[in-house]
Amino acid sequence: MSAFDVVLLLVVLLLVVVVVGAVLLGVRALKRLSLAPAPEDPAFIAEKDRQEQSLAALRTAADEVNSTIDVAKSAAAAARAEAAAAKAEAKAARAEARRVLDDARAEADTVLERAHKQAEADAEQLRATARRSGEREVAVLAATTREQAAEVERRAARMDERERLHTEEVERLAERERQLTAATAALAAREAALVERERTLTEVEEQRRRELERVAGLTADAARAELVESIEGQAKREAALLVREIEADARGSAEQRARNIVVDAIQRVASEQTAESVVSVLHLPGDEMKGRIIGREGRNIRAFESVTGVNLIIDDTPEAVLLSCFDPVRREVGRVTLEKLVLDGRIHPHRIEEVYDVARQEVEELCFRAAEDALVEVGITEIHPELVTLLGRLRYRTSYGQNVLKHLVETAHIAGVMAAELRLDVPTIKRCAFLHDIGKALTHEVEGSHAIIGADVARKYGESEDVVHAIEAHHNEVPPQTIEAVLTQASDACSGGRPGARRESLEVYVKRLERIEEIAAGKLGVEKVFAMQAGREIRVMVKPDDVDDIGAAVLARDVAKQIEEELTYPGQIRVTVVRESRVTEIAR
């Protein structure tokens, strides 16, 4: 190998080392730039792009150097033939290598300087941020410390105040204990003096009692009994006079006020009543319709009675038939069914069943609508739907000719007026009075008194205990315990007992009067009995020699009790026992 080949090899190796060094420097600068926080400055981003372009140029130059090395190797092979050309090319290669090396060093220095500046700027920014955060935390800690110190001072002040109050309380207790000790000593001394005085008074009283016994000639027990008897008799007379005056005054004012309240309530809510019975009359367009109603061999009338449960009476009454049933709702359904059949003209068993279903639905709707109207009239809004259905059934129920649903409305109004006069709970009392006869809707289905049945139904459907008690007590099956129950009784009696509200047959009326007179006449000492005011009052004349004043009061109570137990009547009956003594002398 010649000297030229050696020199050429050394130059190539030197170029390789320079290029590798420049590449390493560019890679290190690029790593520093990638590790530094990426600012958002557009100039910095442009500078970074330029540096990346420079690194790409360096990589391109390195690739070119590699290719040059390859060319050099090939040139080395041909160097022996072309020495002069190789020298020239070597010089050009050295010059180019120097230029590239200088450019690479300059670019590397620039990149490193900018990277150092950026790192210092970022570090300074981080230090400033950390400094501000530390200052804020220090300020927060200082404020917290000040608040805690203030709280500690306040607690210390409260503890000092408590200690001062405790000390004062201890001093007061000590002073009070000293006062109690002194008072105890004074009381002991006073008690000893009182004991001594009591002993002295006892001795004096004993001497006085013995002296009085000696002067009066009576023992202490006899004198005490005589004195007590005298005082007792006087007290009884004075008490009897006072009681009589109080009773007369209370009775006069109470009766007058009650009479005013009841009369005002009745006058304000009195309404007409429709007289109904257990028989309904249906007028026919002609007597030939009776034959169509009866049908062939009576099949139509049998089908009608079996479907409706209503007895159909066809007699000699012109152009009319009678429907009889104890259940008023069922009787009304039968009447509507027969009326529709007569208007339609087609009467046969299948048609009777179809019309019966339609009539039953119509009557149920009428009942429900009547109940809703009654609730609106009374002012009751919240009530169980089943109670509304039961109230609707009372639209066709009567009591002594008085419609029960209208009776409930009237009773509720009377109770409301009386409750308003007495400043009581008007809505509750009106609700009690309106629902008191709800049990009459089930008396044909459930055994027992309608008051007890109604109370059970009201309790079942969520009514309050005051309402339930008023319902069960309005006929005294249960003793009334509340003002609602008493007012319900009073309003029921006002509605049923006012003139024109109820009616009854003459036969029942006469039998009741006779039974009232029989009950009173059957008592001992009774001389005459008179039933007055259509059975509302009975006057019993007694023999004054056989019955005294106390016996007259007992007789009146017994007669009233027996009438209550044996008879059924609207309103109330007054029993008056008259006892008088007559002395007759003849002047001649």
DSSP codes of every residue in 436-459: TTGGGGSTTTS-S-HHHHHHHHHH
Bridge-based pairing of strands 279-283 and 311-313 is unpaired
What pLDDT score was predicted for residue 262? 53
CA distance 486 to 475: 10
**582: Cβ–Cβ under 8 A, 6 or more apart, which residues?**
none
- pTM, 2 dp: 0.42
CA atoms lying within 13 Å on the CB side of residue 61: 25
Q: Which run of H or E residues covers position 348?
A: none
577 DSSP β-pair partners = 540
What is the DSSP-derived secondary structure letter of residue 580? -
What pLDDT score was predicted for residue 37? 47
CA distance 149 to 131: 27
Distance (Å) of CA 494 to CA 439, 469, 509: 20, 20, 20
pLDDT tens-digit series, residues 336-377: 888 888 888 888 888 888 888 998 888 888 888 888 888 888
Domains of the chain: 282-504 (1.10.3210), 505-587 (3.30.70.1350)
Q: Which token pair is 359?
A: 């009539």
Q: Which run of H or E residues covers position 445?
A: none
DSSP string, 303-332: HHHHHH--EEE--S-TTEEEEE-S-HHHHH
pLDDT tens-digit series, residues 176-219: 888 888 888 888 888 888 888 888 888 888 887 777 777 766 66
What pLDDT score was predicted for residue 279? 66
Q: How many CB atoms lie within 10 A of CB 583?
A: 4
The list of the chain residues with pLDDT below 70 reads 1-5, 7, 26-27, 29-41, 44, 47, 51, 55, 58, 61-62, 65-66, 69-73, 75-86, 90, 216-220, 223, 251-279, 400-401, 443-446, 496-509, 533-534, 570-571
What is the DSSP-derived secondary structure letter of residue 439? G
Contact 405, 397 (CB under 8 A): yes
Distance (Å) of CA 35 to CA 48, 55, 127: 13, 17, 18
**80: Cβ–Cβ under 8 A, 6 or more apart, which residues?**
2
